[in-house]
Amino acid sequence: MPFKFIEHTADVAAEITGKSITEIFLAAFEAWKETVIEKEENPAGGKKEIDIAAQSYEALLVEFLSELNYLLFTKKWLCRNIPILDIIAEDDGLKLIASLEGGTIDPSSIKIEIKAVTFHNLKIEKDGDFYKTVIVFDI
C-alpha cells in the first residue's frame, strides 16, 4: 500500500511513499479518497481536466488535493480514477495536468468532510529510491 494512516490529534494524517513524485500524488489521492468516502463509490460517465500551477511540489500537492476536495464537497463530484497525471517543471514553477474520471455521488456516501488540506509539516523528501511525505487533512 503506498500510504498508511498515522496518529494525529484531531485531524487525519497519512504517510505517503512512492518511487516518483507522480506516485506520491496518486497515493495521496487514494488516501484522500479513503478518508472521505464510506464505501467504494463508482460514479460513471464523467470526466474533468484540471490544470494547476504552484511554486513547489508541496504547494502543488496541496492545490491538487484541495481541487479534488472542492469538487466533492461543493459540486458533489467524486474523482474515482486518475488515468493521466503529468507534473511539468516550467521556468516559472510547476504545473500539474490531470484527467479525472468520476461523477456525481449521493452525499450520504461521504464519510467525513475535510475542511482543508494543510501544509502542516508538509515536506516531500527523497529517501533512497523512494519519495515520502506526510499529508494532514483538517477535519
Angle at alpha carbon of residue 22, lines to 19 and 25, rounded to 5°: 105
pLDDT at 81: 94
Per-residue pLDDT of the chain (139 residues; tens, 9 = 90+): 577 677 766 689 999 999 999 999 999 999 999 999 987 667 777 999 999 999 999 999 999 999 999 999 999 999 999 999 999 999 999 999 999 999 999 888 899 999 999 999 899 999 999 999 999 999 9
pLDDT at 11: 86
pLDDT at 8: 63
The fold of the 3-138 domain, in CATH, is Archease, Possible Chaperone; Chain: A; domain 1 (3.55.10)
- Is residue 133 a contact partner of residue 24, using CB atoms and an 8 Å limit? yes
Indicate the pTM of the whole model.
Answer: 0.90
Structural domain boundaries in the chain: 3-138
Angle at alpha carbon of residue 60, lines to 44 and 49, rounded to 5°: 30
Q: What is the rounded distance in angstroms from the CA atom of residue 58 to the CA atom of residue 34?
A: 21
pLDDT at 10: 65
pLDDT at 1: 52
pLDDT at 76: 92
